[in-house]
Each structure stands twice: as structure tokens, then as C-alpha cells.
With several copies, the nearest count.
Chain A
């Protein structure tokens, strides 16, 4: 499932519900083989309190605003989910991505994947976050004491996605 929203979300409550829903939906298929979940992998992206990674270039971050392309965002995220389900045998997928203004420590994105074993759960979680970093139409604007700055795309993100194009699951 894909959710694109401005509202903050409760990371613990979402993951807890995801684990329970997976379990019960597994049960509701009447004990069919493989309905049950052995592993859930999740990734949470949070707003950091600074930009830059070293003491020299660090600047405090007051807030982050995410702009997105309504319509295309949902479409791309649904495709990314479908691609993950095509590559791995997944019991359930949840992606929540926020847009709008958010402050340090607030969650930006949540990816959850459930599978019979840990391999598919962990790999598909990494795949989903790598892909949405380069395929979902969001743009980050950082508020710092110097003013607002659009974040530049990182080559390493593009490389992380490219990796998945070479190697099928």
C-alpha cells in the first residue's frame, strides 16, 4: 500500500499495525502455505538537524520542505511497489511518504516489507528506498539560517538504483 500525505505519522504505531495485519491476513487465507510472515524489514527516513557531514560544512537545519508532483508521485510509488512484488515473493508492502514542511526528527518516509524469510524482506526494503530516492518526484528544500536551499541530487543515489538494474533479484 502507498500513502502520500502531509500529516506526520507515528512510526511505531504504523510498524506495529503492519506486523499485526501481516500476521492476521496470513491467517485469514485459511492456512494456505506461505501465508505466514517470518520477517518484516523497515526503513524510516527522518529529518536531520543539520546539512553537511563534516564539522567544516555543517549548517544547522531548521526545517525541510518537500515539494512533490501530485498524481505522478502516487503513480511512480505504485509502480515501484509493483516492481518489488514482481522481483520478490512479498506478503505485504507499505510505503508512506510525506510532503510539505517538517522539522528535525520528524519522519519523512517509511518503507515496510513482509516476507516468509529475511532475505526477500531486507532486499526489497533496500530496493524500495533506493528506487524511490531516484524515481519518485519529490524535491527537498532545506531551511537554514542562511535561507532556503534546494537539495541537489546525489550521484550515490543514482548509483544505488543503477545497481538494481544490473542484478535481477
Chain B
């Protein structure tokens, strides 16, 4: 599965994109955040405050409970600031 990071999450993780093998017990966005946070110190800092993190599954906004079954691309980013 492809995982993307934007803005300061990218800065902290140290990359904008990585490919992961999702373990079977990582079923939701929330599970994935907890699992990713264990991958490196940078990941841990990126996900230190989950309330600041937003997510999209296959390019649609998704909440912590969203299921990852069949998802090809998950992105994490701060609240958007366009316009």
C-alpha cells in the first residue's frame, strides 16, 4: 500500500511517499497511524498528536475509523490551508 505525507508531516517523516506491507491487524486509519508511528523517530514525531492529523483514503477524506480494505493509497496531512 502507498502511504503519502504532506506539509509538516512530510518534513517530520523525512519522505513524501513510502510503500508498506500492511499487517493483517492494521484494519483502520487509526490502526495505521499507531503502526506507522512505530516505524521511526520521525514517524513518531509526525503522529505525536493525532488530533492535528487528517487523512485521505484513495483521495477521499477519511476518519480514524475508516477501513483500509482494498485501499491502494493513504495520505496523511495537517488540516488544509488553501484558498
B77 touches A153 (CB 8 A): no
Chain B residues whose CB sits within 8 angstroms of the CB of A132 once the complex forms: 82-83
Q: How far is the CB of A72 from chain B (nearest CB, A)?
A: 4
A109–B82 alpha-carbon span in the complex (Å): 9
B82 touches A139 (CB 8 A): yes
Total chain B interface residues with beta-carbon distance under 8 A:
16
Given the interface pairs A129-B83, A133-B83, the reply to whether A75 lies near B78 with Cβ below 8 Å is: no
Chain A residues whose CB sits within 8 angstroms of the CB of B83 once the complex forms: 45, 97, 108-109, 118, 129, 132-133, 136, 138, 157
Chain A residues whose CB sits within 8 angstroms of the CB of B80 once the complex forms: 133-139, 153
Looking across the interface, which residue of chain B has its beta carbon closest to that of A150? B8
Chain B residues whose CB sits within 8 angstroms of the CB of A153 once the complex forms: 78-81
Total chain A interface residues with beta-carbon distance under 8 A:
30
Chain A residues whose CB sits within 8 angstroms of the CB of B8 once the complex forms: 150
Given the interface pairs A139-B77, A150-B7, the reply to whether A69 lies near B59 with Cβ below 8 Å is: yes
Chain A residues whose CB sits within 8 angstroms of the CB of B6 once the complex forms: 67, 69, 137, 139
A11–B1 alpha-carbon span in the complex (Å): 41
Q: How far is the CB of A132 from chain B (nearest CB, A)?
A: 5
Interface: B32 (CB within 8 A): no
Interface: A152 (CB within 8 A): yes
Looking across the interface, which residue of chain B has its beta carbon closest to that of A99? B82
A69 touches B56 (CB 8 A): yes
Give the residue of A45, A118, A136, A139 whose beta carbon is less than 8 angstroms from that of B7: A139
Could you tell me which B residues sit within 8 Å of A by CB distance? 4, 6-8, 56, 59-61, 75, 77-83
What are 5 A-B interface contacts by the 8 Å CB criterion?
A135-B61, A136-B82, A138-B83, A150-B7, A152-B81
Top 4 closest A-B pairs, CB basis? A138-B82, A153-B79, A139-B7, A133-B83
Could you tell me which A residues sit within 8 Å of B by CB distance? 45, 66-69, 71-72, 75, 97, 108-109, 118, 129, 132-141, 150-154, 157-158
